[in-house]
Structure 1
Amino acid sequence: MLIASRNRLARLHYGPNGFRVLSPGDHVLCAVTGVPIGLDELRYWSVARQEPYATAALSVQAALDSKA
């Protein structure tokens, strides 16, 4: 049986060169803003914190906040 993954939150493992799908879905939520990010649009994440980000600026903001 094929399970549709449209409009489902995916669970990913973030690596240094890409990510691996742990639970199928079509999007993840930005760790800073909570906005959905389509897997085909996901470009920024933290390997150390295992978090996705919608933009490069949000990724930098999260990194700076984690050091405070």
Structure 2
Amino acid sequence: MADINRLKVVLVEQKKTSKWLAETLGKDPATISKWCTNTSQPSIETFLEIARLLNVDIKDLLVPSDVNRLLKQ
């Protein structure tokens, strides 16, 4: 399965931890871990909240769709 989000990368760029994100969103750290490894995905609403918290555009949290298409070839 191709990666869908860049959450782990953006957290590193922002010098934030998954633990910080879990505490800030009130989510279980295991949930954040699954998001960071692309095992599961947050809802669109949660992506918007994460983008707000990290002060980034929501598009920065997603792998561009054309990259996913190239990976499948």
Give the TM-score normalised by structure 2.
0.26
Which structure has more RCO (C-alpha within 8 Å, separation ≥ 6)? 2
TM-score using structure 1 length: 0.27
As a proportion of its length, which structure holds more helix? 2
